[in-house]
Structure 1
Amino acid sequence: MNFDTVIIGGGLAGLLCGITLTARGQRVAIVSRGRSALSFSSGSLDLLSHLPNGEAVTDLHAGLARLADLAPMHPYALLGPERVIEYAREAQRLLANSGLVMQGHIEKPHFRVTPLGRVRPAWLSPQEVPVAPSPGVHVGIIGIEGFLDFQPALAAAGLRRLGVTATAHEMSLPALDILRDNPSEFRAVTIARVLDDEAQFAPLCDALHALSQEHDVLWLPACFGLTDNRVWTRLNEALPGKVQLLPTLPPSVFGMRMQTLLQRQFIKNGGIWLPGDEVLNTTVSAGRVNALWTRRHEDIPLRPRHVVLASGSFFSNGLIAERQGIREAVLGLEVQQPERGNWTRDDLFAAQPWQHAGVRTDNTLRGWQNGERLENLYVAGSVLGGFDAITQGCGGGVCAVTALHTARQICAREDLQ
C-alpha cells in the first residue's frame, strides 16, 4: 500500500499532523495501537508555564527566548520562538475547525480549576472548564452519589483555601442506578453515555434546579458531553445559574471528545485510520524508511514517501525504559537520556531527569538511527526529548507545535518535487 505519509501514533501530535497533511491533498495513513494518552488527559493544553530553572513564564515571548539558553535541546528551542507562536495559533484554528472551540489565549494563560479545587495555568481549555473564580462568588460543588472519581468535599475545601466560598453537595439520578451497582463500571465515560441521552436531560435539569438557585455557579464532574457540549449549553439556558464542568480521573470525557473529533476530522479529510495496529518491522536503506510492516498487515507493507513518528512517551510505550537505558520502541532511533544512575532525584516531588529523555532530532525534527539521519523520518510529540512536560507545563504545546512543524517540512519537500 503506497502513501504520501504514514504516521505512527494516533494521539494529539499524530492527528494534528494528519489533518494538516490531508488538507493539503496528501494520502495519509495513521497507525494507532489503541486509545492514546489524549483520552486520559484533562482536555486542557499547556504551552509553557515554567522554565527549566523553575521560573514562572508570564511573558511567552520572553520565556521562549530564555528557554533557548536554558534548554537548547528543548523542541521549542530547536524551532525558535517565532515558529512556536505561529504554530500555536495555527493549532488553535485547527482545533476550532474540528469542532473543538476552546477558551484561552496564546499571549496570556488562564488559570483553570482542578478537581481538587486548585488552579493551574493553561493555554487552552474546553469552554465548560471553570477558571479561577472571584472571591465573592458562591460556588456549589455537585457530586454524583456513589461516583468515587470526583470528591466534591475535597474540591470545596481546596477552593476555600483560595478564599472562595464553596459548598459541597451530592445529587442522585435514578437512571444511573444500574451503573452504581458495579463500581468498576461507574466511571465518567459510562455515565456520559447515559446522560448524553435526550431522555435524561429533564431529570438532570430537575436535580440541579434548586441547587442552582442557591449558588452563583454550579461545578459538576464532566460526566456528559462525549461528542459535543450540547447538554452543557442546554443546562446553562434552562437553569437560573451558571453550570461549569471539572475533569475527572481518567479516562476523561474532555480528552475522549478531543480524540474523537480530531479523528473524525482526519477521516473526513480523506485520511486512512488503521486502528488496533502497530508497526512491527521497518526497512531502511540509503538513509530512508522504505517500508513498514504492521501486525494486522504483516504480508502487505506500507510504502510511504514520508514517515512521522508520533508514538508517544513511556505511557504509550513509544519509549521503553530497560536496565541498560531508554530506547525508542519502533525504529530504534537515537535517544537523548541521562546516565542510568541519574534518572531520578531523591525528592519524589522534584523534577525528575528521566522526564527529559526522548528521541534526538535536528531543527527539522528528523531523527538518527545508528549515527545516520533518516531523510524521510520526522519525529513529533511526546516521544521527543529535551523537555519535561509536567514541570515545564508544555506537553500539549510540544505535541501541537512539533506536529505542525513536521507537516510543514513534509509539504515543503513535496512542493520541491
Structure 2
Amino acid sequence: MRFDTVIIGGGLAGLLCGIRLSESGQRCAIISRGQSALSFSSGSLDLFSFLPDGQPVTDIDSAIALLEQQHGAHPYALLGAKAVRRYAQQAQTLLANCKLALQGEIETPHQRVTPLGTFRRAWLSPQEVPSKTDAQQRTAVVGISGFLDFQPQLAAGALRKRGIDAHAEEIELPTLNRLRDNSSEFRSVNIARVLDAPENYSELYDALLPLSQQYGMLWLPACFGLTDNHVFTQLNKQLACPLRLLPTLPPSVPGMRMQLLLQQRFIQQGGNWMPGDEVLRADISHNHVTQIWTRKHEDIPLRARHVVLASGSFFSNGLIAGRDRVREAVFDLDVMQSDKRSDWYRDDVFDSQPWQQFGVRTDAQLRGLYQGAIVDNLYIIGSVLGGFDAVAQGCGGGVCAVTALHAAQQIIAQGGEQ
C-alpha cells in the first residue's frame, strides 16, 4: 500500500498534520492504535506559560529568545519565534474550520476555570468553558445527583477563597437513573449520550431554570455536547442567565468532541483513517524509512515518501521506560534522557520532573535521529519529542499544534521530490 505520507498516531498532533497534508492534496494515512490522550484532555490548549526557570511568559517572541539561551533543545527554540507564531495562527484557523468553537488568541491568553475551582492559563479553550472574566457575578456551581466525578462543593469553596461569590447546588435528573445503578457507567461520556438526545432536553432545562432565576451564572460539569454544542447553545438561549461547562475527570467530553471533529475533518479531506492498528516494525535503509509493517496488514507493508511519528509520550506508549533507559517504541530512535536512573526524577513530586523532558532527538527540521544519523524522511511531532515539559512549562497543546504544522509544511514544500 502506497501513500504520500503515513502518520503514526491519531492524537492532536497526528490529526492536525494529517488534515493539513490532506488539504494540500496529499494521500495520507493515519495509523491509530486506540484512544489518544486527546480524549482524556480538557479540550483546552496551552501555548507557552512558563520558561524552564519558572519565569512567566508575557510575550512569545522575547520568551522564545530566552528559551534559546536556557534550553536550546526545546521544540520552540529549534523552530524560532517567527515560525511558532505563524504555525499557532494557522492552527487557530484550522481548528475553526473543523467546527471547533474555541475562545482565545496568541497574544491574549486567558485564565480558564478548572473543575477544582482554580485558574489555569490557556491559549485556546472551548467557548463553553468559563474563564476568570466570567467569575464576576453570583455563580452556582451545579452538580448532578450521584455523579462523583465532579464535586461542586470543592469547586465552590475554592472559588470563594479567590473572592468569587460561588455556591454549590445540585440537580436531580431521573432520566439518568439507569446509569446511576452502575457507578462505573455513571461517567460524563455516558451521561452526555443521554442528555444529548432531544427527548431529554426538557428535563434538563426544567431542572436548571429555577437556578438560572436565582443566580447570575450557572457552571455545570461538561456532561453533554459529545458531538456538537447544540444543547449548550439552546440552554443559553432559554435560561434566565448564562451557562458554562467545566470539564470533568477523564474521559472528557470536550476532549472527545475535539478528537471526533478533527477525525471527521481528516476523513472528509480524503485521509485514510486506520483505527485499532499498530506499527509492529519499520525498515530503515540508508537513513530512509522504506516500509512500515502493522498488525492488521500483516505481510502487506505500507510504503510512503514521508513518515511522521506522532505516537505520544509515556501515557500513549510512544516512549517506553525500562530499567536502564527510555526507548522510542516504533523505530528505536535516539532519545534525549539522563544516563543515570537516579537523575530521572526528583524526590519532591511537585517539582518539575526530569523525565518529563525525555523524548526523541531531532535536527532543527524535526527529522528524527537514529544511531546519531538523520532519518531524512521521518518527522517527529507532538509529545514524543524531547526537550520540553508540557506540564511545568504549559506548552503541551502548543507544541503538538506547532510541530505538526511545521512537519506538514516541510513535506508540502518538497512537492514531488522523492
**Same fold, TM exceeding 0.5?**
yes
Superposition CA RMSD, Å: 0.9
1:225-304 alignment, distance < 5 Å: 225-304=225-304
Residue type of the alignment partner of 1:298: E
Moved more, 59-68 or 18-27: 59-68
Query: Contact 1:133–1:164 (CA<8 Å) still a contact in 2?
Result: no
Matches of 1:211 and 1:249, distance apart in 2? 24
Measure, in 2, the Cα distance between the counterparts of 1:197 and 1:134.
28
Please name the residue that 1:3 is paired with.
Answer: 3
Give runs of aligned pairs for residues 314-329 of structure 1, distance below 5 A: 314-329=314-329
Tell me what 1:93 maps to. 93
**Residues 27-38 of structure 1: matches in 2 within 5 Å?**
27-38=27-38
Q: 1:112 matched to which residue of 2?
A: 112
Q: CA deviation at 1:134?
A: 6.2
Supply the distance in 2 between the matched residues of 1:135 and 1:283 (Cα, whole angstroms): 55
Contact 2:52 / 2:70 at 8 angstroms: preserved in 1? Answer: yes
Q: Is the 8 A contact 2:138 2:165 kept in 1?
A: yes
Q: Is the 8 A contact 1:115 1:246 kept in 2?
A: yes
Give unmatched runs, 5+ long, in structure 2: none
8 Å Cα contact 1:98-1:262 kept in structure 2: yes
| Correspondence 1:208-223 to 2 at 5 A | 208-223=208-223
Equivalent-residue separation in structure 2 for 1:319 and 1:55 (angstroms): 28
Structure 2 contact 363–369 (Cα < 8 Å) conserved: no
361-370 vs 183-192, greater mean Cα deviation: 361-370
In structure 1, C-alpha distance between the alignment counterparts of 2:283 and 2:382, rounded to whole Å = 23
> Deviation at 1:133?
3.9
Partners of 2:329 and 2:298 lie apart in 1 by 18
Deviates more, 1:197-206 or 1:128-137: 128-137
Q: Which residue of 2 aligns with 1:198?
A: 198
Helix, strand or coil: the match of 2:89?
helix
Which residues in structure 2 correspond to 1:144-159 (within 5 Å)?
A: 144-159=144-159
CA deviations on 1:286-311 (whole Å, 9 max, x unpaired) are 11101000000011100111000000
Kindly indicate whether the alpha-carbon contact (under 8 Å) linking 1:138 and 1:216 is maintained by their aligned counterparts in 2: yes
Question: What SS does structure 2 have at the residue aligned with 1:175?
Answer: helix
| Structure 1 residue aligned with 2:401 | 400
2:15 — aligned with what?
A: 15
The aligned counterpart of 1:60 is 60
Letter in 2 for 1:181: D
What is the CA–CA distance in structure 2 between the aligned matches of 1:35 and 1:333, rounded to whole Å? Answer: 24
**In the comparison of the two structures, how many residue pairs are matched?**
417
Give the % identical residues.
Answer: 63
Contact 1:135–1:163, Cα closer than 8 Å, also in 2:
no
Q: Secondary structure at the match of 2:184?
A: helix
What one-letter code is carried by the residue in structure 2 that aligns with 1:85? Answer: R
Q: CA offsets, 1:265-284, max 9 Å, x none?
A: 00000000000000001111
The answer to whether the 8 Å contact 2:117/2:155 transfers is: yes
Separation in 1, partners of 2:65, 2:416:
31
- The separation in 1 between residues aligned to 2:375 and 2:114, in whole angstroms, is 42
Q: Which residue of the partner structure matches residue 74 of structure 1? A: 74
Change in 2 beyond 3 A, CA 1:165/1:133: farther
Deviations 1:384-416 (A, max 9, x none): 000000000000000000000000010111255
SS of 1:361's equivalent? coil
Q: Secondary structure at the match of 1:108?
A: coil
Q: Which whole-Å CA distance do the structure 1 matches of 2:248 and 2:387 have between them?
A: 30
Find the counterpart in structure 2 of residue 349 from structure 1.
350
SS at match of 2:213: helix
Tell me what 2:359 maps to: 358
Contact 2:32 2:276 in 1 (8 A): yes
